[in-house]
Amino acid sequence: MPLSHLFDNLSDYIAVAAGLGTAAYALVDGSKAFWGGVSNCGFGAIEHVVKRFFPDDIRHQDTDEPLSLAMVVGTLRANWLNGTALVDQMAIAKSLIKLRLNEATAPYLAKATGVDEQGLVIIAEKIATGKTLAPDENDLLGRFDLLLTALLDKGYQRADQSYRNSAKAWSIAVSVVLAIVGGYIVNDSFEHISGTVLLGLAATPIAPVTKDLTSALSAGVKVAQALRK
């Protein structure tokens, strides 16, 4: 295809790429209807951090207790899949873990956050009995809270990054496939496959919204039609 002809139809290519990008993101987003789809990506980083606050001997216990690992992870997964604001998700996670603070769990929570074990045990005892904390104990509890926040923030930020990267990777694959399918529908061959692949790759970062399979195939057909001009 002559370079001058390519520039003459540049606006068409941009429009087609935008439609193709939108269709690709739509299909990827639509995968959420099937057991969470792409939304499941990244949650492993959150689960890894949360498990640090549970002793090894109860990590694999599947109980219905409100603050068991299974129930906590289930609650956090539900919020993750539902797309709750990241700040709110972290606040919920921190609240659930802090609710586990008692004399029995204090040693594990202290070890996970790196604070003084005996001091946190005493704090847990005083909280349970309603006693007033001493200034140094308030400082220790504040340190525990900050370290807990930092650990959870690390997990959620990594999870969010993993999710975004996975969504982009899925979109690239879908965009290229749609472009190839559209090219084949128009030409009844893979004559312009290199061009459709390149346009599929270029279309991926353009649009973040989706529709359905019909609009996706329509966008793919437009790619092939633009390449034939």
Query: Would you give per-residue pLDDT tens digits along the chain (229 residues)?
Result: 444 444 456 566 666 666 677 777 777 777 777 777 788 889 999 999 999 998 876 655 555 577 888 899 999 999 998 888 888 999 999 999 999 999 989 999 999 999 999 999 999 999 999 999 999 999 999 999 999 999 999 999 999 999 888 888 887 888 888 777 777 776 666 776 777 777 776 666 544 433 344 455 555 566 556 656 5
Helix (H) or strand (E) run with residue 80 in it: helix 69-82
Quote the domain boundaries for residue 50: 3-228
Number of folded domains that form the chain: 1
Residue with tokens 């290229």: 176
Please state, in angstroms and rounded to a whole number, the distance separating the CA atoms of residues 124 and 178.
Answer: 58
The C-alpha angle with vertex 156 and arms to 31 and 50, in degrees rounded to 5, equals 105
Whether the model clears a pTM of 0.75, i.e. scores above it, the answer is: no
Nearest-CA neighbor of 145 among 90, 71, 103?
90
Contact indicator for 76, 89 with CB cutoff of 8 Å: yes
The C-alpha angle with vertex 95 and arms to 158 and 56, in degrees rounded to 5, equals 70
Contact indicator for 215, 23 with CB cutoff of 8 Å: yes
Please state, in angstroms and rounded to a whole number, the distance separating the CA atoms of residues 35 and 41.
Answer: 12
Contact indicator for 113, 151 with CB cutoff of 8 Å: yes
